[in-house]
Amino acid sequence: METSFRFPAPSIVAPIVILALLACIPLVGSRFFIYLVSGILVTGLLATSLNLVLGFGGMYQFHHAVFYGTGAYCTALFLTKTSLSAWVAFVSAPVGAAFLGLVIGAVCVRLSKLYFGMLQISLGSLVWAVVYRWYSFTGGDDGIHGIPLPSSISGGKPAYYTVLVTAALCFFLLHRIVESPFGRMFQAIRDNPVRCEAVGIPVQRHQLIGQVLAAAFAGIAGALFVVVEGSVFPDMLFWTLSLEILIMCLLGGWFRFWGPMVGAAIIVCLRTYVGAYTEYWTLILGVFLMLIIFFLPDGVLGMAERLTRRKAKASSS
């Protein structure tokens, strides 16, 4: 009996090739470029965690940065205030962020979409205010600097590979969640929550689980920020960062899994290169948001898909 060889599906090959290319960056790239790609990976993971509940769950998550900052501060506080293992500190990031997601989600999922987002902003701002003013514990508006990290994961290449491996694993898990029966049910709730509730699907329970999962992955992104930067700041929990993350999802395409990653790469590069010349780079961010609303409702990836389909249709005719 003959067996024919089949090449792996493109959806599997592309991420593997990209991962291999990313793994080679420390071998050929400058120290600055390694730092830049590390920032893109961390921010991309954060944006993708938001998109789990925003794009695939239809939940108005307007203050996602609070979970990111919680993960970062949990890691920083364990490393600076206790003598426990560093790995315990890193585990505390998703656990602490998930717990906060559970508390906030338990209150917010009872409300409709817009009120859900407004209440979340209020509760998230309350957490930020506590961190910002608690000088004796969190460092207040100065943050926490000089966080002691294990030499195996700190500085340059070790930090980069730690971020790359962790982010790759998180992207894999997030993709599995989106494609799982839970993910399909989550998307059905996004499209028609009333009908789902009518047929007996526990809508609020699914939304709460989605909120906790998204918060946990945001917490992991916060821990990775500590690995890259070695410090944390209260601005990581502020609502303006949440708006920036939201723009990343919209810019890349919030109905596509890799859309937030594309949006994160664009925004981080803008902030790095344009921000070096002017402190008003956020004005450009506002222009991007207007362009997205008027010309790219499906984001960059959505536009790329439309152009690809149009080209394929033209070549076949």
Q: What is the mean pLDDT of the chain?
A: 89
The Cα angle at residue 284 between residues 281 and 285, in degrees rounded to 5: 90
3 state DSSP class of 98: helix
Q: pLDDT digit string (tens) for 156-184?
A: 899 999 999 999 999 999 999 999 999 99
Answer whether residue 296 is part of any domain. Answer: no
Answer whether residue 14 is part of any domain. Answer: yes
Query: Which one-letter DSSP state was computed for residue 155?
Result: S
pLDDT at 285 over 80: no
Region of poorest pLDDT, from 22-36, 111-125, 196-210, 280-294: 280-294
Residue labelled with tokens 């990976």: 41
* Band of pLDDT at residue 4, cut at 50, 70 and 90: very low
Percent of the chain residues topping a pLDDT of 90:
62
Answer whether residue 5 is part of any domain. Answer: no
Into how many domains does the chain fold? Answer: 1
* Band of pLDDT at residue 317, cut at 50, 70 and 90: low
Residue 214, phi-psi category: left (phi > 0), alpha (psi -120 to 50), beta (remainder): alpha
d(CA 284, CA 293): 14
Region of poorest pLDDT, from 6-10, 124-128, 292-296: 6-10
d(CA 38, CA 119): 33
Residue 155 pLDDT: 81
Answer whether residue 274 is part of any domain. Answer: no
Distance, C-alpha 141 to centroid of its chain? 24
For residue 96, the domain's CATH number is: 1.10.3470
* Band of pLDDT at residue 302, cut at 50, 70 and 90: confident
d(CA 227, CA 149): 7
pLDDT at 209 over 70: yes
Answer whether residue 314 is part of any domain. Answer: no
Domain that holds residue 237: 10-264
More confident of the two residues 12 and 53: 53
Mean pLDDT of 3-19: 64
Residue 281 pLDDT: 74
Q: pLDDT digit string (tens) for 72-122?
A: 999 999 999 988 888 899 999 999 999 999 999 999 988 877 888 899 999
- Which helix (H) or strand (E) segment holds residue 290: the answer is helix 281-295
Answer whether residue 64 is part of any domain. Answer: yes
* Band of pLDDT at residue 11, cut at 50, 70 and 90: low
Residue 94 pLDDT: 97
Answer whether residue 3 is part of any domain. Answer: no
pLDDT at 311 over 50: yes
CB within 8 Å of 179: residues ≥ 6 apart: none
Mean pLDDT of 115-132: 92
Answer whether residue 52 is part of any domain. Answer: yes
pLDDT at 6 over 60: no
More confident of the two residues 44 and 85: 44
Q: pLDDT digit string (tens) for 133-143?
A: 999 999 999 99
Mean pLDDT of 216-236: 96
* Band of pLDDT at residue 218, cut at 50, 70 and 90: very high
